[in-house]
Amino acid sequence: MSTAAAFFDLDRTLMSGSSAYYFGKAAYREGLRPWHRMLSDVAATLVFRAFGASDEKSEAVRDAILESVAGKAAADLHRMAPGVIEEILPLIRPEAQALLDMHEAAGRDVYIVSASPVEIVGELARSLGIEGGLGTVSEIVDGVYTGRLDGPFLYGEGKATKIREIAQQRGYPLQACYAYSDSGSDLPMMQLVGNPVAVNPDRALQAVAHRRGWPVVEFNATMRRRRRTALSGGFGVVAATGGYVLGRVHTERQVRRLLDETTSRRWRRRG
């Protein structure tokens, strides 16, 4: 058994965009989601790509997923999962894949932690060959979804709750574990472990990472700055990180250096 683990947020961290959008597409194809709701999913995805998560948006996604599956056979969602994963896999960032590989090479168990349905997150974890996928669990009675949650919604504090549970079950010392996210909503998860790393951070997470001296990694930073400038008038994505941005981390050597430095705790605190 591994002595530590690395926990990765999914949307805008491991992948570009929102996994819930691809779940919505599959639900529409299967007749589980009407056309007008599919159009709203597209609009929400465009906003999410530009500005990230919020409590309101995440609660809306939760409610949409529960509404989509209520009264449907659990077997239907399991049948949908491989098609959703087929669309998500090309969106896994190569830089993020390198991080997964580096943690596995270092002997750590790797998990995805996402608000998306556990049926999707678990299937993605299996496709990536990592230890596990922790996702939101919907209640099932007699093989049919009730439209209610069975456990915490894996958003915000819900992610931290699930990580504590897994760490206790598997004997992971949380101070030796890693967490990766792009969003300030994941601060409960990030603050829980000894090695938090901000990936493409939103403004809330960026500010905390700078203040606490957490490593910050930007993937495709130039494209992200241009997109945000066009949509919101622009703000300092790189300058506000206090010098921790590594730019485009796209080689295994650079990723290894990041892991070596965070493991040895040589990141100096600033601010």
pLDDT in tens, 245-254: 333 333 345 4
Residue 218: per-residue pLDDT: 87
**CA 251 to mean position of chain CA atoms:** 21
* Alpha-carbon distance values, 266 to 24, 179, 213, 257 (Å): 43, 17, 11, 11
Element (H, E) at 96: helix 94-105
Give me the pLDDT at residue 153, please.
86
pLDDT per position as a tens digit, 40-98: 444 344 343 444 454 555 566 667 667 767 777 888 878 888 888 999 999 999 999 99
Spans of the chain, pLDDT less than 50 = 34-52, 54, 222-252, 254-255, 259, 261-271
User: What pLDDT is stored for residue 59 in this prediction?
Assistant: 66
User: 196 forms bridges with which residues in the sheet?
Assistant: 179
CATH architecture of 5-263: 3-Layer(aba) Sandwich (3.40)
User: Quick one: pLDDT at residue 70?
Assistant: 77
CA 220-46-99 angle, 5° bins: 35
Instruction: Give pLDDT, residue 18.
Output: 81
Task: Determine the pLDDT at residue 256.
Answer: 57
**23, 88 Cβ separation under 8 angstroms:** no
What pLDDT score was predicted for residue 199?
Answer: 93
pLDDT of residue 33: 54
Contact 57, 48 (CB under 8 A): yes
Nearest Cα to Cα of residue 25 among 16, 14, 37: 37
Length of the chain equals 271
CA distances from 7 to 13, 38, 45, 132, 245 (A): 11, 30, 24, 10, 20
Residues near 24 by Cβ (< 8 Å), separated by ≥ 6?
33, 37, 38, 41, 64, 68
Q: Are strands 178-181 and 195-199 parallel, antiparallel or unpaired?
A: parallel
User: Is 76 part of the annotated catalytic residue set?
Assistant: no
9 is catalytic: yes
132-136 and 109-117 strand pairing: parallel
